[in-house]
Structure 1
Amino acid sequence: MGTGAGRGTLLAAILASGMVFLDSTVVNVALPRLGADLGATVAGLQWTINGYLLTLAAFVLLGGALGDRFGRRRVFLLGVVWFAAASVLCGLAQDTGWLVAARFLQGAGGALLTPGSLAVLQASFHPDDRGRAIGAWSGLSGVATALGPFLGGWLIDALSWRWIFFINVPFAVGVILAALRWVPESRDEDGTRAGGTSRRFDVAGALLGALGLAGITYALIDAPARGLGSLPVLAAALVGVLAAVAFVLVERRRGETAMLPLGLFTSRLFSVLNMFTVAVYAALGGFTFFLAVYLQNVVGWSALETGLATVPLTVLLLVGSARAGALATRIGPRLPLTVGPVLAAAGLLLLRRVDRGASYWADVLPGVTLFGIGLTLVVAPLTASVLAAVADRFAGVASGFNNAASRVGNLLAVAALPLLVGLSGGGYEQRDELTAAYRGALAWCAGLLLAGALTAGLFVRRPPRPAPPSQPCPSLPASTPPDAPG
């Protein structure tokens, strides 16, 4: 940590994460402006979010494996260049189809970049400094996340929504210069997984997973315009379901060499926690999608004001996550994972009352704060419990799958909620129609949170403590926390 190479490596990882986190916090805020500029329908706005989430969720585990085989710095840099180039294409988009295609490419770049950021730190730092490096990365990346709504909202108001994508270019240049100067190359030299099985890339699993998600997502997004019984919707749903079934069969045949070893799901706790993850992050994704559009098109706020509205949520996560993790370690995860979603659901029900001319302090802040407190009680205990629910040698794939599960929850919520609340076409620009859809969507999100709370209360138990080692272990490597979901 005290060397120039250490500081430079940390700088590269932080700038890369800041680039991704900025997009994740600001694109929702830009939806009303880019929708009006490009003449987008609700489906176009949904694909703007889901195009990125789909390729990121489908390929993030494959991206980590590519780094292990071909060099973590090399794949990390490829992800940075890919992400920046796709960002420029997003900013230059002249219609919705162009933007959505560029967002698909951006998600693929993120799948190379996201696992590489932490893998570089894990592989580069001395074991004695690794925990400090990851802690510094987490804290400073969190600051970037907190500043994202302010910077992004200002760019949208002062310049254009296009600049939330163009701003990634200087970030990328900084990452490339720092990585080429300071980051050492590393790879899995023996090309094996823990347990001695040879590593092969599960390209078939990744493609089938992407096809399954794409088919189901397309069916959900297209159903309001075409009808649930239309041939394209039914065909897409069928392709998605068949691809999902084929994915399970392929992963079962590959065993421990699979992208997702199905043996993980013999742990009931692991299975339950990932179901919980999908429910909670679906609620988070649906809430942020609808709130950003509603505050601008109904309440009448600027992009900057809308971006700042959810800053308390980020601040609470930054300040309280470590304390929530310590509490769960002391009393077990069951209570935080039960109480947290209930508080978050109460916050969403408060936010349903927000109407035209609403006051931030009286109408928006209480609900956002309550939602943030509830989410803070969930995030750190959930991550720790997922890792504790499987054998240590599967910690990487377990955290990666849980990260993907959170993005799948986001993706499915953004795809399904407009269908469930009857919002389609240009309805997001009609105040009365959007108001009814917003309130219905928040009710559905609150229901998902309460379902998650019920699941945790009934099925989550404290993971068994590992047996103490029979002899001293002088240097156990620090475990790598998963990237913050969403």
Structure 2
Amino acid sequence: MAPAAARWVLICSILGSAMAFLDSTVVNVALPALQGAFHASAVQLQWIVEAFALTLASLILVGGSIGDRYGRKRVYLIGVGSFAAASIGCGAATTIHAMLAARAVQGVGAAMVVPGSLSLITAAFPEDERGKAIGIWSGVTAITSALGPVMGGWLIQHATWRWIFLINVPIAVAIIAISWKGYPETKLHDNQGLDWLGALLASGGLGATTYSLMQFSTSGARVLWIGAAGLVMLALFGVVEARSPKAMAPMDLFRSRNFLGANLMTLFLYGALSGLMYYLPLNLMQVQHYTPTQAGAVLLPVVLLIFALSKWSGGLVARYGSVLPLVVGPVIVALGFAMLAIPGIGGSYWKTFFIPGMVLGFGMAVSVAPLTTVVMNSVEEPRAGAASGVNNAVSRAATLLALAVFGVILHASFVTALTNGSTRIPEKIRQQVLSQRNNQAAINTPDATAQRVIAEAFVSGFRRVMLTASGLCLVGALSAAAFVRTSAAKKSSSTIGKQS
């Protein structure tokens, strides 16, 4: 594209991605308020996040494919409009079920927006400028996502949680206005249909597996058959994609070692991050007694660091090759997660969460832009939407499944610690507290000793989640070391065609 049109593409891609990512981070800050408003259990609270993540992970591959085939700009704007409409539905919800339905529709809109943003950038910029553009995209998106929770926390504290969803509407209006004549349409011309069977198997497999994991804490082994059915559907999804001429996740993409290694790293790294993004706000507000505004601002220095290093990180692959940043980055992130497992109850932010957060943020700065550059430069330009869709689907599926697993880990640790610590609680209060164990840190009791035991039990579970996340990051580093070999910045864009 002409330089002016490419700049408009970058602006609109940043705004759309920021809107989708912003929503995820803002909702995490709102979780305690939503739990109180809807009288939700811990599992129902998780579904507010997972309903969005499920439809996004299931349909993001379709979103990338339809953008390539029917027009990236057109599909992108449809996604933006759908997301805005669903945001209005979230803001107007009066029951937990209405909220979950609106969140699911938000995920559908995001499934068109998220892969569309990167495929638009890939189509607009030549390969030698793409790394820097992606670096700017990742940095600016990150900083807008970081400012969102601060604004959202302020709105929750001083107005109502409903406004955190309505802030998406003016962003969507701006994107549509700029895109209308700001840049031309791009698409891959073919007459193949869409892989709806693959989408159905992906949705059913991810949904059944997630439901089984999330309900296991309260329903026990009787839901395991649902998870087994989900795994079978996911296996069938792989078979269908390998044989389908219109596969939304073409298996030949994975013949590129860089593409395979980067996606494995994505799986483990973003799975680990889901535990932090979900449970840290709950820890801060329900245990450490931060205000929503303070909790929203906790990760702001971390994202400012990522933003400050975004241009630098965008050039790491060109300077040092693919392997080094994709191994070193996750190892640093793993150290940050391990440090987050140290704080207990109380203490100043600067002595508890600031330093671990900065370590984690530096590791992410080293990892994110090189990771995205490797993925997008491993395929030919006409397949950019499919590659972006696959990589984003991996990250979203990682978030979906990892959060469900983290829920099992935290709940088991919380219940064990609560049961053991409940011997310190007066008997007339003890049974009341234990009967609310599914509410976790939101258990309602006036007894000070019981409140302390509940807080300690939640911190025990939080520590296990952080240590598990640290282990996942190390596995991600090993995956990159095992599979990524050559510099994607220097690879021919025809890698896939040659290996096919």
- TM-score bin, normalised by smaller chain: 0.7 to 0.9
CA offsets 1:279-338 (integer angstroms, 9 cap, x no match): 111111111211111011111101111111111221222122332343333233323222
Identity value in percent: 40
Using the TM superposition, give the Cα deviation of residue 22 of structure 1 relative to its aligned residue in structure 2, in angstroms: 1.9
User: For the structure 1 residues 443 and 262, does the alpha-carbon distance in structure 2 shift closer, same or farther, using more than 3 Å as the test?
Assistant: same
Look up the match of 2:187. 188
User: For the Cα contact (< 8 Å) 1:69–1:187, is it kept in 2?
Assistant: no
Look up the match of 1:242. 232
Q: Distance in 1 between matches of 2:143 and 2:349?
A: 23
- Could you tell me which of 214, 220, 223 is aligned with 1:221? 214
User: For the structure 1 residues 269 and 127, does the alpha-carbon distance in structure 2 shift closer, same or farther, using more than 3 Å as the test?
Assistant: closer
Using the TM superposition, give the Cα deviation of residue 118 of structure 1 relative to its aligned residue in structure 2, in angstroms: 4.6
CA offsets 1:399-448 (integer angstroms, 9 cap, x no match): 32112211111111111112123156201324232111111111111111
User: For the Cα contact (< 8 Å) 2:42–2:440, is it kept in 1?
Assistant: yes
Q: Distance in 1 between matches of 2:3 and 2:321?
A: 39
Say which SS state the counterpart of residue 248 (structure 2) adopts.
coil
Using the TM superposition, give the Cα deviation of residue 34 of structure 1 relative to its aligned residue in structure 2, in angstroms: 0.8
Look up the match of 1:195. none
Look up the match of 1:151. 151
Using the TM superposition, give the Cα deviation of residue 394 of structure 1 relative to its aligned residue in structure 2, in angstroms: 4.1
Query: Which aligned pairs between 1:52-451 and structure 2 lie closer than 5 A?
Result: 52-119=52-119, 140-180=140-180, 182-183=181-182, 186-188=185-187, 191-192=189-190, 198-227=191-220, 229-230=221-222, 233-255=223-245, 257-390=246-379, 394-421=383-410, 422=412, 423=414, 425-429=438-442, 430-451=454-475
Look up the match of 1:472. none
Look up the match of 2:430. none
User: For the structure 1 residues 380 and 23, does the alpha-carbon distance in structure 2 shift closer, same or farther, using more than 3 Å as the test?
Assistant: same
Using the TM superposition, give the Cα deviation of residue 122 of structure 1 relative to its aligned residue in structure 2, in angstroms: 5.9
User: For the Cα contact (< 8 Å) 2:138–2:369, is it kept in 1?
Assistant: no
User: For the structure 1 residues 426 and 328, does the alpha-carbon distance in structure 2 shift closer, same or farther, using more than 3 Å as the test?
Assistant: same
User: For the structure 1 residues 401 and 224, does the alpha-carbon distance in structure 2 shift closer, same or farther, using more than 3 Å as the test?
Assistant: same
Q: Distance in 1 between matches of 2:192 and 2:61?
A: 13
Say which SS state the counterpart of residue 330 (structure 1) adopts.
helix
User: For the Cα contact (< 8 Å) 1:9–1:178, is it kept in 2?
Assistant: no
Aligned residues: 459
Q: Distance in 1 between matches of 2:291 and 2:324?
A: 39
User: For the Cα contact (< 8 Å) 2:58–2:202, is it kept in 1?
Assistant: yes
User: For the Cα contact (< 8 Å) 1:334–1:457, is it kept in 2?
Assistant: yes
Say which SS state the counterpart of residue 222 (structure 1) adopts.
helix
Q: Distance in 2 between matches of 1:358 and 1:329?
A: 43
User: For the structure 1 residues 425 and 22, does the alpha-carbon distance in structure 2 shift closer, same or farther, using more than 3 Å as the test?
Assistant: same
User: For the Cα contact (< 8 Å) 1:26–1:152, is it kept in 2?
Assistant: yes
User: For the Cα contact (< 8 Å) 1:339–1:453, is it kept in 2?
Assistant: yes
Q: Distance in 2 between matches of 1:446 and 1:136?
A: 27
> How does the TM-score come out when normalised to structure 2?
0.83
Look up the match of 2:450. none
Using the TM superposition, give the Cα deviation of residue 378 of structure 1 relative to its aligned residue in structure 2, in angstroms: 1.4
Say which SS state the counterpart of residue 104 (structure 1) adopts.
helix
User: For the Cα contact (< 8 Å) 1:74–1:185, is it kept in 2?
Assistant: no
User: For the structure 1 residues 435 and 219, does the alpha-carbon distance in structure 2 shift closer, same or farther, using more than 3 Å as the test?
Assistant: same
Partner letter of residue 451 of structure 1? V
CA offsets 1:232-264 (integer angstroms, 9 cap, x no match): x12321321121122112112214x31011122
- Name stretches of at least 5 consecutive residues in structure 2 with no aligned partner: 415-436, 443-453, 495-500
User: For the structure 1 residues 17 and 465, does the alpha-carbon distance in structure 2 shift closer, same or farther, using more than 3 Å as the test?
Assistant: closer
Q: Distance in 2 between matches of 1:267 and 1:7?
A: 30
Partner letter of residue 234 of structure 2? A
Q: Distance in 2 between matches of 1:363 and 1:276?
A: 28
- Name stretches of at least 5 consecutive residues in structure 1 with no aligned partner: 193-197, 470-475, 477-486
Using the TM superposition, give the Cα deviation of residue 127 of structure 1 relative to its aligned residue in structure 2, in angstroms: 11
CA offsets 1:441-469 (integer angstroms, 9 cap, x no match): 11111111122233334443234786789
Q: Distance in 1 between matches of 2:359 and 2:489?
A: 32
Q: Distance in 2 between matches of 1:81 and 1:121?
A: 20
Say which SS state the counterpart of residue 315 (structure 2) adopts.
helix
User: For the Cα contact (< 8 Å) 1:212–1:242, is it kept in 2?
Assistant: yes
CA offsets 1:36-87 (integer angstroms, 9 cap, x no match): 2211111112211111112112212312332344444432332122111111
User: For the Cα contact (< 8 Å) 2:216–2:224, is it kept in 1?
Assistant: no
User: For the Cα contact (< 8 Å) 1:276–1:456, is it kept in 2?
Assistant: yes
Q: Distance in 1 between matches of 2:45 and 2:294?
A: 20
Using the TM superposition, give the Cα deviation of residue 106 of structure 1 relative to its aligned residue in structure 2, in angstroms: 0.5
Q: Distance in 2 between matches of 1:284 and 1:347?
A: 11
Say which SS state the counterpart of residue 309 (structure 2) adopts.
helix
Q: Distance in 1 between matches of 2:230 and 2:477?
A: 29
User: For the structure 1 residues 205 and 152, does the alpha-carbon distance in structure 2 shift closer, same or farther, using more than 3 Å as the test?
Assistant: same
* Structural RMSD (CA): 3.1
Q: Distance in 2 between matches of 1:107 and 1:333?
A: 32
CA offsets 1:20-39 (integer angstroms, 9 cap, x no match): 23212211111111112211
User: For the structure 1 residues 93 and 223, does the alpha-carbon distance in structure 2 shift closer, same or farther, using more than 3 Å as the test?
Assistant: same
Does residue 17 in structure 1 map to residue 14 in structure 2? no
